[in-house]
Structure 1
Amino acid sequence: MTYGIAAASLAEARARAADIALEQTVEIPADIVPEGYIAETIVGRIEALEPDADTETNAGNGGRFRATLSYSPDSIGGELPQLLNVIFGNSSLQPGLKVVGFRLGETLSRQFPGAAFGITGLRALVKRPRGGLIAAVIKPQGATAESLAAIAYRCALAGADIIKEDHGLANQPSAPFQARCEQIGRAVARANAETGGASLYFANLNGPHETLMEQARFARTAGAGGLLVMPGLLGFDLLRRLSQDPEIQLPLMAHPSLLGSHVLSSDSGFSHGVLFGAIMRLAGADISIFPNIGGRFSFSRADCLDIAEQCRDTDGIGRPILPSPGGGMSVERAAEMHAMYGEDVVYLLGGSLLRHGERIGGAIQAMRQALEAAISRESKAPD
């Protein structure tokens, strides 16, 4: 694990790194750590410590340093919550500490295989071998199941690759979960039958924990081709469980609700790429949603590219997954977004689509044409 550390000197940074090694494992003072197995295997080890070349400006009272620590798989016990606990449990309560990278060793890589589908699997499901995928968001909260299904039908008819429920759709009386799944599932299936398309409907899981697996199974039976999960609200281990359940076998889209405060500090929490890239892969997400540059949120271009890179890194955890920027997305920005993200991306279109009303299908088709034109121009450009 690599941590960014705010410290006034290298000596202070080393002391803070040593504290992390203890805090994240045995959580007792160094002078009372039992000799033998606990001291030699369980306590974290400092592998490297150096000034952070990327952030040489002062932070707080001093500079920034990077410390790489290693932990034994014996500390994990093969369980995802404990792995996250070791990565950044108690130390997350300390100011001036930030998780900026991590890798799994051979043992943990076997225990945590990551996404069940990944980029290749998702492209096969939606029958789109290249180019950015388009995900239309159906909303708003308060709409009836019938009206949401009508929007989903028009989006699927126009060729949206994914029809995603808004994360605020739960079990409200206006569109109860089961009725909504059934109606939207039928609507998307009807559109696919009429066009020969392969749009996937992603149902949103949102409710008491004891009902979530039942919700997932019901959604699949009702015609969902994927599931939307909010790990910040429901837990990262739910993603893992869903990705590995043989009765479900659906691609998973992770939503960032409640996770923003983990990345917004410059010197605490997680880097954007670690949380929305590496950890989402670790938990089993196939698509990771995050706020796009130019929308109503504050992620920078560098933040967004960091997320996309860690989602798609071929040396990352398990299969590479698809980054999904949302916000500030439009036909006019399609070429800019293609130049920034490339082809392996899911473009999330929400409120901007709903402005088109019954002509929403035309907006989706215009976005597709704009993305295809960007690919065409790129292929014709001289080397």
Structure 2
Amino acid sequence: MAGDNRFRVIYRLLADSAAEADSRARGIALEQTVEIPGDIVPAGYVSDEIVGQVEHIRAVGDNAYEATISYSPDSAGDEVIQLINVIFGNSSIQQNIRVVGIDPGPEIRARFGGPRFGIQGVRARAGRARGGLISPVIKPQGSSVRELAEIAHRCVLGGADIIKDDHGLANQKMAPFAERVKAVSVAVAEANAKCNGKAQYFVNVTGYSGNPVAEAFAAKEAGAGGVLLMPGLMGFGVVHALSRDPSFDLPIMTHPSFTGSYVLTPETGVSHALMYGVFQRLAGSDISVFPNVGGRFGFSVEECLSIAEACRDPGGLGQPIMPSPGGGMSVERAGDMVSMYGEDVVFLLGGSLLRAGDKIGEAVRAMRDAIDRIGS
């Protein structure tokens, strides 16, 4: 029997009839837990507790149904990878199944504390109590360490809150990890001293050494104020490990690289809100990057707002976190973006900034002034 401690997942299924939807839902309940036919499931604890329980199925449109299936927290343990595996492991390989909702229940909430910093912690580190945060991205790949450090220095003087490595900066010979992290950290610190700022440098950690956790600690020792991780490539387990390690104690930003195939097809995968909101909070991210409406990736207004809502939902798992839309950001769009996202947001500024050349700091200042003016 489903107990109060169970967590629930809502799946959207395509089926030709209610009977087929019921059969598909029962198949998911088995596939996501015991992965054996129903007639050989051991009686007792396994059949009563571990096997997923189909609680409700309802029609939501032509050949579309929503099935609510509950699972025991015992099937997940305290591992974020196994929890996501139960939510949508093998069934993600099947067609016409999409995860559209999750209710973690009290036990999963207790086991997975979510982000260490959240909105208020990120604001405290950046020294900005109100208004949207600005995060220029240092790029492009192929730039030298000196060039990247100079861009970072100018952006901090212009009023940046977070200096973010481009996610394409790894350990290439043009700007090796250790050399880049040290030089940019020094440049950010020197600029902070000049303008009495508290800008934080978020280092892209890729796991080139085979140990991304060690790389994150190395970045911290070199002066980084946070890290950028790509859970679509390295897994949510790395995010979770760093977020719950009290000796790390730096905010985490997560990047959407390699996750597009999970959200772009409406019949399969997971919803935008789950991928870039719920899952990021679950793993322990403090800032979730996603493609902005009007950029080159084609997310809609509704999809972007659903992500922002999931990031900041006070009823979500753990502390609310900062949504971070990227792409298509400019001074001209500042009003629309502030109106759309509000003030608890990190605005990424990328390629458009580089057009300013040596005046990149002035371009950051113009964006800062525009956001502050509109938000006041």
Same fold (TM over 0.5): yes
- Match of 2:266? 266
Aligned length: 368
1:24-173 maps to which residues of 2 (within 5 A)?
24-52=32-60, 56=61, 58=62, 63-173=63-173
Cα distance per residue 1:99-118 (max 9 Å; x no partner): 11112122211211110000
Query: Following the alignment from structure 2 to structure 1, what is the Cα–Cα distance between the partners of residues 273 and 42?
Result: 37
Query: Following the alignment from structure 1 to structure 2, what is the Cα–Cα distance between the partners of residues 6 and 330?
Result: 41
**Amino acid of the structure 1 residue aligned with 2:31:** E
- Please give the root-mean-square deviation of Cα atoms over the aligned residues, in Å: 1.0
Task: Structure 2 unaligned segments of length 5 or more: list them.
Answer: 1-8
1:209 to 1:235, Cα distance in 2 relative to 1, 3 A:
farther
Of 66-75 and 366-375, deviating more is 366-375
- Match of 1:9? 17
1:266-305 maps to which residues of 2 (within 5 A)?
266-305=266-305
Cα shift at 1:216: 1.0
Cα shift at 1:170: 0.6
| Contact 2:171 2:208 (8 Å CA) reproduced | no
What's the secondary structure of 1:214's corresponding residue?
A: helix
Query: Following the alignment from structure 1 to structure 2, what is the Cα–Cα distance between the partners of residues 288 and 18?
Result: 33
**Amino acid of the structure 2 residue aligned with 1:121:** G
Cα distance per residue 1:293-345 (max 9 Å; x no partner): 11110211111111101000001010000000000111100110111111111
Query: Following the alignment from structure 2 to structure 1, what is the Cα–Cα distance between the partners of residues 54 and 132?
Result: 41
Query: Following the alignment from structure 2 to structure 1, what is the Cα–Cα distance between the partners of residues 29 and 206?
Result: 36
1:23 matched to 2:6? The reply is no
**Amino acid of the structure 1 residue aligned with 2:33:** T
1:193 matched to 2:193? The reply is yes
**Amino acid of the structure 1 residue aligned with 2:326:** G
Cα shift at 1:209: 6.1
Task: Structure 1 unaligned segments of length 5 or more: list them.
Answer: 377-383
Query: Following the alignment from structure 2 to structure 1, what is the Cα–Cα distance between the partners of residues 236 and 134?
Result: 25
TM superposition outliers: structure 1 runs of 4+ over 6 Å: none
What's the secondary structure of 2:137's corresponding residue?
A: strand
**Amino acid of the structure 2 residue aligned with 1:312:** R
TM-score, normalisation: structure 2: 0.96
Query: Following the alignment from structure 1 to structure 2, what is the Cα–Cα distance between the partners of residues 106 and 218?
Result: 36
TM-score, normalisation: structure 1: 0.94
**Amino acid of the structure 1 residue aligned with 2:36:** I
Query: Following the alignment from structure 1 to structure 2, what is the Cα–Cα distance between the partners of residues 318 and 64?
Result: 32
Cα shift at 1:210: 2.8
Cα distance per residue 1:324-370 (max 9 Å; x no partner): 00001111001101111111111000000111011111111111111
1:213-292 maps to which residues of 2 (within 5 A)?
213-292=213-292
Query: Following the alignment from structure 1 to structure 2, what is the Cα–Cα distance between the partners of residues 225 and 47?
Result: 45
Cα shift at 1:50: 1.1
